[in-house]
Amino acid sequence: MNIYNDYLKQIENRKEQGLHPQPIDGAELLSQIIEQIKDLDNEHREESLNFFIYNVLPGTTSAATVKAKFLKEIILGESTVKEITPAFAFEQLSHMKGGPSVKVLLDIALGNDVDLAKQSAEILKTQVFLYEADTDRLEDAFKHGNEIAKDIIESYAKAEFFTKLPEIDEKIEVVTYVAGVGDISTDLLSPGGDAHSRSDRELHGQCMFEHNKDMQNELLALKEQHPDKRVMLIAEKGTMGVGSSRMSGVNNVALWTGVPFSKYVPFINFAPVIAGTNGIAPIFLTTVGVTGGIGLDLKNWVKQKDEDGNTIVDKDGEPVLKQEFSVETGTVLTINTKEKKLYNGDKELKDISAAFTPQKMEFMKAGGSYAVVFGKKLQTFACKTLGIDVPKVYATSKEVSIEGQGLTAVEKIFNKNAVGTSGATLHAGSYVRAEVNIVGSQDTTGLMTSQELEMMAATVISPIVDGAYQSGCHTASVWDDKSKANIPRLMSFMNDFGLITGRDPKGKYFPMTDVIHKVLNDITVGDWDIIIGGDSHTRMSKGVAFGADSGTVALALATGEASMPIPESVKVTFKGQMKSYMDFRDVVHATQSQMLKQFGGENVFQGRVIEVHIGTLTADEAFTFTDWTAEMKAKASICISEDETLIESLEIAKGRIQIMIDKGMDNAKEVLKGLVDKAETRIIELKTGMKPSLRPDANAKYHAEVVIDLDEIAEPMIADPDVNNDDVSKRYTHDNIRPLSYYGGTKKVDLGFVGSCMVHKGDMKILAQMLKNVEAQYGKVEFKAPLVVAPPTYNIVDELKAEGDWDVLVKYSGFEFDDNAPKGLARTKYENMLYLERPGCNLCMGNQEKAEPGDTVMATSTRLFQGRVVKDTGEKKGESLLSSTPVVVLSTILGRTPTMAEYEAAVDGIVLTKFKPSTKQLVR
């Protein structure tokens, strides 16, 4: 069948959806298009020219390789196309961002035609996405006396690819658009249910505002009314971008409001302007920087204080807010990038210098952070080749070093992993380039990560990275046509790139859909490691982990580095004793609740590292705490463990990595074996006392210290979305933590979910034991609401089978997953029974399985945002309450929230957690 005719049919289908032709990334299609261009009489020649010039994805796509080759032929006179002159061919190459285009430019620059070589050199001087193969060619030519190579390298040494870029505008006029009141989840900007389309940017753009056409049309009307201004998207009385980094969310905002990156590359925009009353969620703000965007912390509503400086609260105990200035939709404001202030006309509204640090302004000038990262590496290469010092072009990385002050745990990790510093001991506030040890890519952002790698012309994982994993967990619950089309392609790309993949493209090992955070938690075997992962819940119980957008993940994979300020830390310690009927999940929720109470409703965790002195909990259960810190709006978290506990965690990790090896998941470089060896070395260091576990210094300085009183935790704690709160800004926040007794044993529960990254093997065993308890108590187990159970990993399932607990679960279940015949359609109706689902994210993701609209869901997961797990109906809002495994299980058996008496009876004799505060000094 003619591939071009197929493309034309696809174009017609897309027209019906209001879409333009999909950008071309395949060599076969573009090769046919080129043949039609060469044929002057071809009926498709004119449209083929347009496709070739304006609709080919750049970087290392196979189409880019074909395009670069043809442009080379035109430049060398081997092919003639009257519409594409050699000069225009050079211009096209300049927009192709590396890979095959750089190879072609180097071929010409280092060739025999002096005039063409000079033209090619001028284009090369503007490029930054060069890799070792490219720089090696330049260095070799330079050493052999090639003057063109010398000229290019001298330009790189001066960083002219950056210095000759236009400066950012001194004044940027914006018109406001309030996208919502209260915290805005990235689901609003890029719904989880549309994850399959993220790599098709124009198609995915249609899901902006959760497909709300009225809001989309309002935004378009605003742009039409203010064609000379940028639209600033705002979260009024809330934080913008909570929940995840979601590059697709920023891409959508940029697509609707940003600046086109290149007239020759469709649907790739940059420089969005985003704001929130309480700023931008930390990992989402990083994503804004990737695109050279602006993220503002407006603080246009402020808490009122009394004469003693205490926060004034209303009758419900909520802080009273006062509006300092209005940002209602349609307000015209001016961002002054020189003064770093926000104006309404001539009236100064706010200092916004935090959004215009030297590093962020460099991102804005360069069109995003990638160009700056690669530019610095390229300048370093050039200066080393020339044997000269690196001229100061980029802003000096901020170094904060305070004599006599000890280091927090995160400061110690960054000092160990930092590169390119002066050698001084660095404290919070320093801006650091750091080497990355572990990288994780998940499947709904992985396609974007692969695109980003192609766009930055990367072909192989950096040798600096100890290990990287590509998961299949976010699309695990339903193996539908979208998954079948996307996931094998993703796994093949990532496997070739050098990652360990959940699926083997060659089919040699059985597909694993393990939750990515759990896998990363196992393969992280260094307590001094830095981990970057494509999900907000990349928060390990060893080392320090940062959730990141797909682009930052791609950058970490390609370069082995990440750049960021060293965050401040908040120290969390515990006192008192847990009651026997409490679960560790209750400690997690109580931490948030008690912190807010101690600090008058102010979230001191937001944007900072939570250094939790967990002490005695192994990695599995400790992960429950670190995982939830994403909902605390923390930047990251670090567990401080006793040596013996860390050893136990590493032994568990070794065993699980070995299982992956035994399944045949290791690659030619034996990455997994290397991680086992690293774990064994670390265990020896701990046992011999050569290098104790990571501890902060006793004289470290913290932004705040929080002490959690375990004695105060008298009953299960539930995070409630409070969907009917009169103040819309107080709905769907994770800060509303309520005790079980609040519901009086009467709140109807329509569905229960035990799964996601928040549960571990212990939760599955608790479930089995509870079912036996209920049967002993009532004579049978009868569910009055459906209970969906999704174990996080296959290892857990295998261990439960070996220990007999899986048989217990099967006995009481009405459905057990079958990997040989996975579900092809998402379930829309649930019966009152136990569903044993395939390992993976399941309901927590909201992109495949969902509860029935309007349901009240009790879940162990992490997300309570509107529409995430359950949609609203016209009569009732769906709500997702978050709690411990015992509460979820009992709620489905009863069909309502339990009373304390019912709860205590159901967990009688079950050890829910062994957590108790450490009695050891966890400082140096």
Query: How many Å apart are CA 283 and CA 547, to the nearest integer?
Result: 6
Residue 1 has pLDDT above 60, yes or no: no
Q: CB of 71 within 8 A of CB of 86?
A: no
Helix (H, G, I), strand (E, B) or coil at 448: helix
Residue 110 has pLDDT above 90, yes or no: yes
Predicted pLDDT of residue 430: 95
Query: How many Å apart are CA 371 and CA 374, to the nearest integer?
Result: 5
pLDDT digits (tens, 9 = 90+) for 387-397: 999 999 998 88
Q: CB of 546 within 8 A of CB of 635?
A: yes
Please state, in angstroms and as integers, the Cα–Cα distance from residue 737 to each residue in 593, 595, 721, following that order: 6, 11, 9
Q: What angle do CA 61, 65, 70 make, to 5 degrees?
A: 140
Q: Angle at which helices 761-778 and 805-812 pack, to 10 degrees?
A: 50
pLDDT digits (tens, 9 = 90+) for 510-559: 998 999 999 999 999 999 999 999 888 899 999 999 998 888 999 999 99
Q: What is the pLDDT confidence band of residue 184, given thresholds at 50, 70 and 90?
A: very high
CA 462 to chain centre: 20
Q: CB of 279 within 8 A of CB of 570?
A: no
Closest CA to 606 of 571, 635, 637: 635
Predicted pLDDT of residue 243: 78
Query: How many Å apart are CA 63 and CA 25, to the nearest integer?
Result: 5
CA contacts within 13 A on the Cβ side of 467: 26
**If you average pLDDT over every residue of the chain, what do you get?**
94
Predicted pLDDT of residue 422: 87
pLDDT digits (tens, 9 = 90+) for 50-101: 999 999 999 999 999 999 999 999 999 999 999 999 999 999 999 998 899 9
Closest CA to 793 of 519, 514, 521: 514
Predicted pLDDT of residue 36: 96
Query: How many Å apart are CA 613 and CA 642, to the nearest integer?
Result: 9
Residue 312 sits at φ, ψ, to 5 deg, of -80, 130
Closest CA to 740 of 597, 904, 580, 900: 900
Query: How many Å apart are CA 245 and CA 62, to the nearest integer?
Result: 29
Closest CA to 86 of 68, 73, 69, 98: 73
Any residues with CB less than 8 A from the CB of 345 and at least 6 apart, and which? Answer: 334
Predicted pLDDT of residue 699: 97
Record the tokens describing residue 810, joined without a space: 């099967």
pLDDT digits (tens, 9 = 90+) for 414-433: 999 999 888 999 999 999 98
Strand ranges (DSSP E) for 495-567? 500-501, 530-533, 544-547, 561-565
CA 673 to chain centre: 27
Record the tokens describing residue 39, joined without a space: 């044929």
Dihedral, 196, 199, 201, 206 alpha carbons, nearest 10:
0
Query: How many Å apart are CA 582 and CA 910, to the nearest integer?
Result: 10
Q: CB of 685 within 8 A of CB of 718?
A: no
Q: CB of 476 within 8 A of CB of 792?
A: no
Please state, in angstroms and as integers, the Cα–Cα distance from residue 843 to each residue in 334, 860, 915, following that order: 43, 10, 28
pLDDT digits (tens, 9 = 90+) for 697-736: 999 999 999 999 999 999 999 999 999 998 888 899 999 9
Closest CA to 751 of 865, 848, 552, 888: 888
Predicted pLDDT of residue 877: 95
Record the tokens describing residue 765, joined without a space: 């065993």
Q: CB of 192 within 8 A of CB of 826?
A: no
Mean pLDDT throughout 318-330?
92
Q: CB of 560 within 8 A of CB of 712?
A: no
Query: How many Å apart are CA 192 and CA 847, to the nearest integer?
Result: 5
pLDDT digits (tens, 9 = 90+) for 645-678: 999 999 999 999 999 999 999 999 999 999 999 9
Predicted pLDDT of residue 111: 95
Q: What is the pLDDT confidence band of residue 319, given thresholds at 50, 70 and 90?
A: confident
The secondary structure of residue 395, as a DSSP letter, is: P
Record the tokens describing residue 161, joined without a space: 């690819």
- Global pTM reads 0.87
pLDDT above 70: percentage of residues in the chain: 100
Closest CA to 753 of 785, 787, 797, 783: 787
Instruction: Tell me the sheet residues that pair with 432.
Output: 564
Q: What angle do CA 549, 187, 467 make, to 5 degrees?
A: 30
Helix (H, G, I), strand (E, B) or coil at 454: helix
Mean pLDDT throughout 584-602?
95
Query: How many Å apart are CA 510 and CA 659, to the nearest integer?
Result: 12
Predicted pLDDT of residue 313: 83
Query: How many Å apart are CA 794 and CA 514, to the nearest integer?
Result: 6
Q: What is the pLDDT confidence band of residue 307, given thresholds at 50, 70 and 90?
A: confident
Helices H / strands E in the chain, number of each: 31, 33
Please state, in angstroms and as integers, the Cα–Cα distance from residue 41 to each residue in 7, 37, 38, 682, following that order: 20, 9, 9, 69
CA 131 to chain centre: 25
Residue 803 has pLDDT above 60, yes or no: yes
Please state, in angstroms and as integers, the Cα–Cα distance from residue 771 to each residue in 222, 837, 870, following that order: 57, 17, 26
pLDDT digits (tens, 9 = 90+) for 358-393: 999 999 999 999 899 999 999 999 999 999 999 999
pLDDT above 90: percentage of residues in the chain: 85
Predicted pLDDT of residue 356: 96
Q: CB of 757 within 8 A of CB of 515?
A: yes
Predicted pLDDT of residue 549: 86
